[in-house]
Structure 1
Amino acid sequence: MTETKQLLIQEQGESQHGGDDGNGKICWKPPRRYVVAFLSFLGFMSTYTLRVNLSIAIISMEEEFEMYKIKKGLILSAFFYGYIFTQIPGGWIARRYGGKKVFGFSVLIASILCIITPLIAFDYKWVIVIRILQGLAEGSTYPSMHTVWSKWAPAPERSRLATISFSGSYIGIVVTLLMSGFITEIYGWKFIFYIFGIISFVWSLIWLWNVGEDPDKDIWIGNDEREYINSYLSGPDRLEESHASPPWLKMLTSRPVWAINIAHFAENWGFYTLFTLLPTYMKDILNSSPKNTGLISSIPYLLLAIIIQLAGQLADQLLKFKSTTFVRKFFTCTAFAVQTFFMLVAGQLQKSEENKITAIMCLILAISLGGFSWAGFSINHLDISLSWASILMGISNTFGTIPGMISPILADQMTSPNGAPSDWTAVFTFSAAVYFAGAIFYGLLASGEEQSWGRRQLSVQDSDDSNDESD
C-alpha cells in the first residue's frame, strides 16, 4: 500500500464520527474501536470488583464466622492460586477461539461464582474453592484482551486504546473500596457479592452481544474505519492461522520477551506489596481509622487509572517522533526509576513522627506513577508479535502474578506485630530494589520491533534470526 493511500485511510478512519440517519443528515457516533475500548474498560473494572470485594466483606464475615479470622490469609490468597494457572492457556485459547469470547465468558463465569458466594459462606472451605475457581476464570482476561487489540488496534493508537482498557482495573479497586462500606452498612455484607456480581453478569452479556471478534465481524463499524484498522493489521508476513503452533522455544529464548516478563514482575511486586499492606501500614504507623484508611487507600488507584490513560496518549504522540523501542523503554524505565526514588524516600521519612504524612504521600506517588510503565511493557507484547500477543501476555502475567502470592507474605515476615518503623523501611527498600532491577533489565533487553518468529511460521529458511532482538 502506498504512503499516500495509507495516510488517506488513516484520515478517514480517524474522522469516523458520523453516519447517515436515513434522512440525509449526518449523526455523530464515536469510532467503533473506542466503543470497544470503553466496554473493555468497564469489563476490567468488573473483574476487579469481583476480585477485591472479598477483602472488604471479610471484615464483616469475621464477626459472623469465627474461622474466617483464623483462615483469613489463606482465603484472600486463594484467588491467585487459580489465577496463575490460566494465564498461558487463556492466551492460547483466546488466540484459537477468539479473545472477545474468552474475555466475555471469563467475566460471566466469575460473576456467577461471586453471586453464589454468600450462599456457601457458612463454610470457609467452600469460599476458598470459589475463589480458586474465580481466579481460574479471570486468569484469561488480560491475555484474551491482547487478542482483541491485536485485531482492533491500529499501530498509531495502540497505546491509548490498550491503556484505556487496562485502566478500568484500578477504577474497579476504587469503586469497590468506596462502595463496599456503604453497601455493608445499608444492606449487609452479602449484598457486596450480589450487587457486584449482578452488574458484572449484565456487562458480560452486553459485551458478548455488542462486540465483534474483529472489525470484519462487527456489524456496527463503518466501512472507512474497518479499512483504516485493517490497513495496519494485514500484510504478507502476518500469521493468520489460528491453529498454528506457537514458536515456544523462540519466545522463551527471546530477550525482548524476558524484558517484558521482568518488567511485569517488578511493577506488580511493588503494586501488590502496597495494595495488600498499605491499610495495615496506615493503622500501625498513623493509627488511622477504618473510614479514613479506606478513603486514603483508594486515592493512589484513582490516580493510577488517570495516569495510565494519560501515558497512553503521550506514548502515541511520542511515537510520531521516536522509535517504538525508545518509547517503550522511556515510559517503563522512567516510571521504575521514579518509583524507586519515592519508595526509598518513604522508607526514610516514615522513621520520624513529623514526616509520616509525607511518607504516605510518597507511597501514593510510588503506586500511581507506575501507571506510566503501562504505556511501556504492558503493550510491548503487541509490538513484538501481533500474532502471539495473547500468549506473550499470558507468559508475562504469570510472572506478574507471582508477586501477588509471595510479596505480601515476605513483607508480613519482615514486619513485627507492632509494625516498627525500621521494619517498614526494610519493606520499602526491598521494593525499591526490585523496581531498580526491573528498570535495568528492561532498558538492556527490550525491543519495540516485531520479531521474525512473531510474523510467520518458521521454516528452515528462517534459521537466520538477524532481525530478532533488534532495536
Structure 2
Amino acid sequence: MLLADQIMNHGTIPQKNRWKIEPRYKIVLACFLATFVMYAERVGFSIAFTSMAKAAKLDESIKGTVMSAFYWGYALSQVPGGWAAQLYGGRIILIISFSLWSLISILTPTNARNTWSIMFARVCIGIAQGFIIPSIHTVLSQWIPPHERAKAVSLTTSGMYLGSAAAMWVLPSLSTVVGADSLLCVDGALGIAWLLLWLLIGREIPHRESVIPLSTNDNARNGSSSSIGKGRPAPTPWKRMMSSPAVWAIVINNFSFHYAFYVIMNWLPTYFNSVLKVELSSLGSMKTLPYIVMFLMSNVGGLAGDWLILQSKMSIGAGRKMVNTIGFISSAVALMLMPMASGTLRGVAATTLTLGALGFSRGGFSVNHMDIAPKYAGVVMGISNTAGTISGVIGVAVTGIILDKLGGASNLFGWFYAHALCASICMIAMMIFNVFARGDRIFDT
C-alpha cells in the first residue's frame, strides 16, 4: 500500500513507517548511482587511454577513433534497450547491462597498440551501457508521479556529471600509483559494486503492476482490464513517433547536447595537457570543478523548469523552451572561450561555464519526452539517445581529424574550428526546439 493510501485510510502516517525510506526514493538514488558509475567508467577510460596512447606514440586521429568506438556500440542498443525495458522491466535489463560491461572492462587489453582489440571491447561496452538510460527512464516513468518527474530525471541524470567529477578528481592520481592500465579494472569493479547494490534494493521492489500510475487519471482512463495495469505494455506507436516534429525536436537537441558534451569529456585530458600545458594529476580538486558545476546546474535546470511552470504559470512547453534556450546559448558562447583561455584558471573557468550551461539545458529537452510520451518514455529516450550517441561517434572522431589536419593538439587554430562547430550545432538545435517542441501529451494511447 502506498503512503498516500495509508494517510487517507488512517489520517496519520503509521509510526513504524516514519523513518522508512519509500521504495521510489531508493530507486531514484540507485538510478543516480547507476549514471554516476557509467560516466566514471567513461572518464576513467579516457584518462587511461590518453596515457596509454601517449606511451605508444599514437597520433590524435587514431586516439579519436578508438575513443569514439564506444559510441558505435552505444548507438546500436538505445532503441532495443527502450523496447527491452518496456517489455521485460528496467530492473532485469539493468542487471544484465552492468554484468556485461563490468566484465568486459576488466578484460580490455592494456597495450594501446592492440587498437582493434581495444576498439572491439569499447564497442561491446557501448552496447551493454546503451541499455542503461532507456531502462532508467522506463523505471522512473513507472515509479515516479508526474509532479516529481522533472526533479527525479534531473537528479538521476546529474549523476553522470558527479561521476565524471569524481573520476577526474580521483583517477588521475590513482593512475600514477597503480598505472593507467589498472583503471580499466577499477572501472569494472565500480560496475560490480553497483550491481550488488541493485540486487539488494531489488529484493524490496514489488512487481511492475504495483507501481504508482503514470498519472492521476490513468486508472480511470484505462480501466481495470487494461493490459498496462496488468504489467503488459501497449503497442508502441512507432509511426506516429517517427513522424512527430515534437519528437524530432528532442532528438536533434539530444544530438547537439551530446556532440558538445562528448567532445569536451573525451578531449578534456588532451585540452589540459596540450592547450593549458598542465597535467591533470597536478590540478588537485580544481580539475573536478567543471563536472561538479554541471551536476549542480543540471538540478538547477530541473528546478527552474518546475518553477517556471508551477510558479510563473508558464505552459509546460514554454517552460521547457526557456530553460533550453538559456542553456544552449550560454554553452555556445562558453565553447568559444575555451580555445582563447590563457592559463590554467581561465581554461578551467571556461570549461566550467560550458559544462554548467549544458547541464542547465537538460531541464528543457531532456525532460520533454516524459511530457509528451510518459507511457513510452523509455522508447522515446532510446530514439533520442541513439542520436546523442551517434553525435559522440561523429564529434569525438571529427575533433581528432580537425586537430590533426590543423597542426595537432598544440595548435589553437584546430581547437577554434572544433569548438566553433560545436557552438553552431547547439544554436541550430536550440532554434529547432523553440519552433517544434510541445509540452502536452501527444502519445496517450
Q: So what's the TM-score if we normalise by structure 1?
A: 0.81
Q: CA deviation at 1:387?
A: 1.8
Whole-Å Cα distance in 2 between the matches of residues 153 and 305 of structure 1?
21
Separation in 2, partners of 1:139, 1:442: 25
Using the alignment, how far apart are the partners of 1:229 and 1:444 within structure 2? 27
The residue number in structure 2 matching 1:280 is 270
Any conservation in 2 of the 1:329–1:446 contact (CA below 8 Å)? Answer: yes
Question: Are residue 93 (structure 1) and residue 78 (structure 2) matched?
Answer: no
The CA deviation at 1:36 is: 1.0
- CA 1:293–1:84 in 2, change beyond 3 Å: closer, same or farther? farther
Unaligned runs of 5+ in 1: 1-7, 220-225, 457-471
1:304 alignment counterpart: 294
CA displacement at 1:425 relative to structure 2:
2.6
Between 1:204-213 and 1:35-44, the stretch displaced more is: 204-213
Provide the rounded CA distance (Å) in 2 between the counterparts of 1:443 and 1:75: 35
Residue identity in the other structure for 2:349: M
Q: Are the aligned partners of 1:9 and 1:227 in contact in 2 as well (CA < 8 Å)? A: no
Contact 1:83 1:139 in 2 (8 A): yes
Looking at structure 1, the residues matched to 441 and 209 of structure 2 have their Cα atoms a distance apart, in angstroms, of 27
Residue 180 (1) aligns with residue 165 (2): no
Alpha-carbon distance in structure 1 between the residues aligned to 2:58 and 2:275:
28
2:253 maps to which residue? 263
Identify which of 365, 368, 381 aligns with 1:377. 365
Match for residue 127 of structure 1 among 118, 135, 155: 118
Q: Quick one: which amino acid aligns to residue 315 of structure 2?
A: S
Structure 2 residue 145 is the aligned partner of structure 1 residue 145: no
C-alpha deviation, 1:150, in angstroms? 1.3
Alpha carbons of structure 1 residues 69 and 372: separation in structure 2 relative to 1, 3 Å: closer
Could you report, residue by residue, the CA deviation over 1:275-303 in whole angstroms, capped at 9, with x for unpaired residues? 23333333333322342468554321111
Residues in 1 aligned to 2:56 and 2:373: alpha-carbon distance in whole angstroms: 49
Q: Percent identity?
A: 27
The answer on whether the counterparts of 1:158 and 1:316 sit within 8 Å (CA) in structure 2 is no
Which residue identity does 2:334 align to in structure 1? F
- Alignment-mate amino acid for residue 31 of structure 2: S
1:443 aligns with 2:434: yes
The answer on whether the counterparts of 2:72 and 2:123 sit within 8 Å (CA) in structure 1 is yes
Report the Cα distance in structure 2 between the residues aligned to 1:53 and 1:363, rounded to whole angstroms: 19
Structure 1 Cα separation of the partners of residues 213 and 239 of structure 2: 34
How far 1:446 moved relative to its partner? 0.3
Match of 1:251 among 238, 241, 244: 241
Q: Structure 1 pair 310/236, CA: closer, same or farther in 2 (3 Å)?
A: same
Partners of 1:381 and 1:283 lie apart in 2 by 38
**Given the alignment, which residue of 389, 399, 402 partners 2:377?**
389
Aligned residues of 1:335 and 1:369 also touching (Cα < 8 A): yes
Q: Distance in 2 between matches of 1:282 and 1:123?
A: 26
Which AA in structure 1 matches 2:376?
W
Q: How far is the alpha carbon of 1:252 from its aligned partner?
A: 0.7
> Are the aligned partners of 2:171 and 2:183 in contact in 1 as well (CA < 8 Å)?
yes
SS in 2 for 1:298: helix
**Cα distance, 1:378–1:168 mapped onto 2, change above 3 Å:** same
Moved more, 435-444 or 115-124: 115-124
Deviation (angstroms), 1:34: 1.9
CA shift in 2, pair 1:439/1:72, >3 Å: closer
Q: Which residue of 2 aligns with 1:455?
A: 444
1:428 paired with 2:413, answer no
Match of 1:340 in 2: 332
Change (3 A) 1:315 1:32: farther
Residues 65 and 397 of structure 2 are in contact (CA less than 8 Å); yes or no, is this contact kept in structure 1? no
Aligned equivalent of 1:54: 45
* 1:18-37 correspondence to structure 2 within 5 Å: 20-21=15-16, 27-37=18-28
SS at match of 1:449: coil
Distance 1:412 1:67 in 2: 12
2:145 to 154, 165, 169: 154
Deviation string, structure 1 residues 382-401 (Cα, Å, up to 9, x no partner): 11112211111111111111
Instruction: Quote how far apart the aligned CAs of 1:203 are.
Output: 1.5
Report the Cα distance in structure 1 between the residues aligned to 2:240 and 2:64, rounded to whole angstroms.
39
- The residue identity in structure 1 corresponding to 2:322 is F
2:303 to 313, 316, 320: 313
Counterpart of 1:289 (choices 279, 290, 312) is 279
Shift of residue 195, structure 1, vs aligned partner: 3.0
Gaps of 5+ in 2: none
Q: In the superposition, relative to structure 1, how do residues 11 and 446 fare at CA in structure 2: closer, same or farther (>3 Å)?
A: farther
In structure 1, what residue type is equivalent to 2:324? T
Q: Which moved more, 1:306-315 or 1:81-90?
A: 306-315
Matched ranges for 1:1-12 at <5 A? 9=4
Match in the other structure for 1:197: 188
Q: After superposition, give the CA deviation of every residue in 1:202-260 in whole Å (9 maximum; x if it has no partner).
A: 321321342379766599xxxxxx66877465441587273543221110110110110
> Once structures 1 and 2 are overlaid, which stretch shifts more, 306-315 or 434-443?
306-315
Structure 1 residue matching 2:407: 3-state secondary structure: coil
What amino acid is the match of 2:271? Answer: Y
User: Which letter maps to 1:392?
Assistant: V
